[in-house]
Amino acid sequence: MIAIDDYFLREAWSYFAKTPFNFSLVDCTSITVLKTAGATNIATFDKEFAKLKEVVVIR
């Protein structure tokens, strides 16, 4: 579990405001944490994540 501080919230909101995909703010927060951690894999059933070229979706 990761505490979402002001940095993550600002970054997630920025991504949310500009993304062409149908991501929620929670999705954008997950993407922000993923990128900050240098990770590339995400376990999700949300098909929208498959549109991200830099992310590998694990189902």
The shares of helix, strand and coil residues in the chain, as percent rounded to the nearest 5, are: 55, 10, 35
1-56 pLDDT per residue, tens? 889 999 999 999 999 999 999 999 999 999 999 999 999 999 999 999 999 999 99
State the pLDDT at residue 1. Answer: 83
State the pLDDT at residue 10. Answer: 98
Is pLDDT above 90 for 59?
no
State the pLDDT at residue 12. Answer: 98
Instruction: Fill in the DSSP letter of residue 23.
Output: -
Residue type, 10: R
State the pLDDT at residue 56. Answer: 96
